[in-house]
């Protein structure tokens, strides 16, 4: 691993000193570094010495590691930058919750050393693949967190006819419907009352948003399942969201969802487990009496 690529958000004013130290560290260790223009141009404007790092939106084929510097949204965009390459991503949190992050920015040196020694765990995370006739062939049809079917702002609700492996499941009448990966089970899906899933499981969670009936509940289906969903709306269209990227689609159009043929590779510390993440990030089992 002699080439590292860095993707990051532009909101790094509080961390310019740490980022300058990072580029100095990578240069001193002999790494070839590529920085995405979103972060690289911002840092150059702020006077940060990139120590010869190349600014490019093209990810070099021989990249061995990607650093994602920001929050969870930045990590999702980093995964899209990596695409189908299955390059391990190390999340560095400079955002808020940082559920997908492995370390804080002042711990990068320590984590890079652990990565070089192989003293970390690389987890394979599933993505969802979305197919629909009206989606542009140029868009990225994959989601690491979730695919959401949402009503227009002026609509009272939508109806989502859902089939699993060719068999009718339900007509969800709701403000929306979320199909989440295990990684995304702690994001929008959880906010809508969906189940929390261990992130390396091979499954999907289907959760309605504000359902208009009490007879539907969140449902977990196998990762090999293929879903076909058809939305009806009084406005004649609905919003399809992939990890927050929103697209208007006409009502009545069939949308198919299944597991993607590649994975996102996420780096985590060996001592960090799903249980510790729940306790640290979501304050799992916390009590106001805890000290």
Six-digit token string for 60: 């070099």
Torsion sign, CA atoms 255, 256, 260, 266:
positive
C-alpha triplet 223, 226, 229: angle, nearest 5° = 125
- The dihedral region occupied by 166, where left means phi > 0, alpha psi between -120 and 50, and beta the remainder, is left
3-state SS track over the chain: CCEEEEEECCCCHHHHHHHHHHHHHHHHCCCEEEECHHHHHHHHHCCCCCCCCEECCCCCCCCCEEEEEECHHHHHHHHHHHHHHCCCEEEEECCCCCCCCCEEHHHHHHHHHHHHHCCEEEEEEEEEEEECCCCCCCCCCEECCEEEEECCCCCCCEEEEEEECCEEEEEEEECEEEEECCHHHHCHHHHCCCCCCCCCCCEEEEEEECCCCCCCCCEEEECCCCEEEEEEECCCEEEEEECCEEEEEECCCEEEEEEEEEEEEEEEECCCCHHHHHHHHCCCCCCCCCC
Q: Write out the catalytic residue numbers.
A: 72
């Amino acid at each position: 691993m002699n080439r590292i690529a860095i993707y990051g958000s532009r909101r790094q004013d509080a961390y310019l000193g740490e980022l300058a130290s990072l580029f100095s560290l990578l240069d001193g260790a002999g790494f070839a570094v590529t920085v995405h223009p979103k972060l690289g141009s911002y840092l150059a404007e702020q006077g940060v010495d990139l120590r010869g790092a190349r600014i490019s939106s093209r990810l070099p084929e021989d990249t061995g590691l990607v650093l994602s510097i920001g929050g969870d949204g930045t990590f999702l965009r980093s995964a899209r930058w990596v695409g189908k390459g299955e390059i391990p991503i190390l999340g560095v949190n400079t955002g808020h919750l940082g559920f997908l992050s492995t370390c804080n920015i002042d711990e990068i040196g320590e984590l890079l050393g652990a990565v070089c020694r192989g003293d970390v765990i690389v987890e394979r995370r599933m993505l969802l693949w979305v197919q629909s006739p009206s989606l542009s062939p140029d868009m990225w049809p994959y989601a690491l967190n979730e695919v959401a079917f949402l009503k227009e702002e002026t609509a009272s609700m939508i109806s989502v006819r859902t089939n699993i492996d060719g068999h009718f499941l339900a007509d969800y009448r709701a403000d929306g419907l979320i199909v989440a990966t295990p990684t995304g089970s702690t994001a929008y899906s959880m906010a809508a009352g969906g189940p929390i899933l261990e992130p390396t499981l091979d499954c999907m969670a289907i959760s309605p948003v504000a359902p208009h009936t009490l007879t539907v509940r969140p449902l977990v289906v196998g990762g090999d399942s293929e879903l076909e969903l058809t939305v009806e709306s009084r406005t004649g269209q609905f919003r399809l969201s992939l990890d927050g990227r929103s697209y208007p689609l006409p009502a009545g159009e069939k949308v198919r969802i299944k597991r993607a043929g590649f994975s996102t590779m996420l780096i985590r510390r060996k001592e960090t487990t799903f249980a510790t993440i729940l306790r640290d990030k979501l304050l799992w089992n916390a009590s106001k009496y805890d000290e």
